[in-house]
Each structure stands twice: as C-alpha cells, then as structure tokens.
Amino acid sequence: MEDGPGQAGHGGPVTRRRALALGAGGAAVLLGAGAGLLGTRSGDDGTPDARATPPADAAQAAGSFSPADAVTVLANRARAVRNGDRTAFLATVATAPAAFQDVQSRLYGNLRKLPLDGWEERAIATQTMDEKKGVAVIRMEVRSRLRGFDRGDVVRTRYLTLALSSGSWTIVGDGSARGFEDDAAIWDGGPLTVVRGRASLVIGDPTTTGAPGLEEIAKRLDAAVPVVTGVVGRGWARRVVALVPADAALASALAGPDQSLGDIAALATVTPSADGGRGQDRVVISPGTFGRLNELGRDVVLTHELTHVATGGARDRTTPLWLIEGFADYVGYLRADVGVRSAAGELRLEVAAGRVPSGLPAADAFSGGSARLSQSYQEAWLACRMIAGRYGEATLVRLYRTAGRVPEATALRDVLGLTRDRFTALWRDYLKRELT
C-alpha cells in the first residue's frame, strides 16, 4: 500500500511492536507487536539536538576547524571501501588508539561483505572543539545503499573525533567520550555473514548460536514472499532485507529509539532516507526470542512482518491499528496448520467464560504494557478472518487499502456497507461461534 495522507515519511518514530511465541504443540501466544520507524538522532532539518549543541565559546573557537577540513580523509575512506583497499582505510585512523583501530578494521571487513552500491561519510557540522588540545568532534551523515534492494540511500548520524597532527586533521576516535551517540548500524556488531536468497538478503553475525541459521531465515522469507504477494498483489518490491545481529542490545537499537526486543521475535522497521523520502524497509530479527520459536512460529512471524513491509505498515499513521496487525496476522496464518481455538487460546478462555469483548481493540491495547496484549492481537486477527470469510479476501484487501485513505467508519461503510456498530456486532457473534 502506498503512503496515504498523514502517513509517516522522514520523521519521528512510529511504533508497531509485536512478538509471537508458539509452544511445542503449536498453540499461539502473542506477546507484543509489529513494525516501527527508525528515526535519526538529529532533528529533521539536519540540526543537532539540544544536548549536542556546542556552547558559544566552543563554537567561536571552532574557527580553526571546519567540516571542510575532514573532506579529504572521509573521501579516502569511501574510496578505500569502494576499491577494497584495507591499508588505505586503516591509514585514516593510523594515529588512533589500538582499540579504535580494531573497531575500524572490523567495520571495514563488514562493509566489504555487503553488496553496497555506495557508502560515504559526509561531514555536516562541528559538534564541539577543544582548540588547546587540537581536537574536534564532527557530526556526519553516513549514506549507504544495498544493491538490488534499496531504491535510495539510507542515512545515519555518526560522530568522529579528529585531532590536529603535523598540520593535518586525522581520525582518533568516535564521539562517545564526549557524549555523542551514533545511530545503530548492522555493521557495528561482530563479523558479518551475508546470505542472498531468491527474494531476500539476510545480514547477520555468524557468532549467533543455535537455530535458526541465516540460511534458514532466507529460505523462510523467500517462501513467504509469494504468500504475501498472493494476498496484497504485485504492487510492492517483493524483496526484503533482514538484519540478524547476535547482540540483543544492537537488535533493539536497530529497531529504533526507546525500543526493546527482549520479548519480540521480529520487527519491521523503516530506515531514515537521505532525501527525506519514504525510507528503506528492514526486518530486524531478535536473536534469542526468534530462536525459541518452533517451525510454525517462525513462518507466522516472518510472514507477518513481511506483510508489514508489503503494505507499508511501519509508516502507516492512518489505518486503524487493529486492521494493520489483524491483516498481518491473517496473512501470517494462511499457511499455518493450527486451529482457531489454539491460535486464539487466551481469547477463547475469556469468551468461553462469557467475557466477550465489547468492541474492537483500541490502539493502546497493542502497547507493550497492555494487560490483554495477546487477546488484542487475537481479536484483530479474527476480525480480519471474519471479513475474508464473509466477504472474500479481495474485499479484506480493499478495506485495508481504503482505511489508509479515509476514516475507519467511512471505510467500513464504503467497502462493507456496514456501520461500525453493526460490524462490531457481527464480529462479536463470530467470536462466540468460533471460540465456544
């Protein structure tokens, strides 16, 4: 689904959190939700945030250094990555402490493993300057593009510390010692392995132990692409990039600011775009939680997240959240050999006890702290399943697309010919019929 009015582009985070765990017997337990937007640390207009703004005296002292002084060394780094010249790349950090040189050596090795159409660092501003010590911290945009998958450049904010040595500026560290935090990137972790599937690119750390392997993830994503396409049509890229870091903290950072993937198996996210456009889709896979899923659970989770990629769910601020998540679960469960009562186990217990929900779940019902998080996903899934069963799958897709352009009540009226109250009544009857 193309971005509609009010949908997110290059801006603040939009969170659609989701986790799915399936027990050995195949019973589904939904723990949390779906797709998010990975925003930059700096402001949308390219200015640093408040804590990064240097004091007036530091800004005045910065007259001895300008971002232009870093152009040559940054260009040398980009050329070295492009040409595969490790020696030239490491020469740009030759005066840095050994530990930072080791980090940069690993960075170079990871970058060379990626199918890059481009990688460059652009100096944007001087963040702080110590004229007496001859040290400057610069804020940069790091732009990159994955060949065959990205339609435009991805941009991340990074910081480098440069020192004046023999009349020229050289790289001696990052900005962490002075409180500047880089946007996360998959190449920040351990040595990377890249697996290319028919329709997937899986980038991960080979130190990740246990099942599943990167090859398995690629195969499952490849198998999910035609399933998703069979429902939503061919009007999407029909390819996906998955990031599988070994470190759970890096996985959370890749998911976006203030995200935690501790109980989340996978999450669809959108990287910030260099031109302020719609960004590039990624699926971040949490190393521990995803590995604990059974075969069925892995297929459902990856198909669910791929549906978010195909429909733009990570950037959608218009479609009701129950429809975004319910639709993704509807597609996710299409190949699943599991009964409705098992998949909606928590909701079934409530309905069997006479506690039928009075209305469709609101947006806050999908938040991580919701007491009925699992039930909310089950309610949303069954609403979409009811629509497909009663009106046809094509009508469900049309409702989804319409709800991205007009208010929910208007979409229900125009597509299903129902008021929201009537739709809710039909759904409540459906829950009682399916779960008791």
pLDDT digits (tens, 9 = 90+) for 170-223: 999 999 999 999 999 999 888 999 999 999 999 998 776 544 689 999 999 999
- Per-residue pLDDT, averaged over 370-386, amounts to 94
Q: Are 35 and 308 in contact (CB under 8 A)?
A: yes
- Per-residue pLDDT, averaged over 102-119, amounts to 97
**Which tokens in the block code for residue 81?**
């990555």
- Per-residue pLDDT, averaged over 29-38, amounts to 34
* Interatomic CA distance for residues 265 and 242, integer angstroms: 13
Contacts 24+ apart (CB under 8 A), 106-112: 106/190, 106/191, 107/187, 107/188, 108/80, 108/81, 109/191, 109/192, 110/186, 110/187, 110/189, 110/191, 110/192, 111/81, 111/187, 112/81, 112/84
* Interatomic CA distance for residues 246 and 203, integer angstroms: 11
345: pLDDT strictly greater than 80? yes
Whose CA is closest to 19, among 217, 285, 214, 251?
Answer: 285
**Which tokens in the block code for residue 429?**
């009857």
Q: How would residue 118 be classed by pLDDT, with cut points 50, 70 and 90?
A: very high
What CA–CA distances, in Å, run from 423 to 82, 117, 415, 418, 426? Answer: 57, 49, 12, 6, 5
* Interatomic CA distance for residues 436 and 429, integer angstroms: 11
pLDDT at 132: 80
* Most confident stretch, 107-111, 151-155, 275-279: 107-111
Residue spans of beta strands (DSSP E) within 210-298:
240-244, 266-271, 280-285
pLDDT at 31: 30
* Interatomic CA distance for residues 315 and 16, integer angstroms: 9
pLDDT at 368: 67
pLDDT at 208: 61
* Interatomic CA distance for residues 244 and 215, integer angstroms: 11
Q: Are 268 and 34 in contact (CB under 8 A)?
A: yes
pLDDT at 300: 96
Q: Quick one: what percent of the chain has pLDDT higher than 70?
A: 84
pLDDT at 228: 98
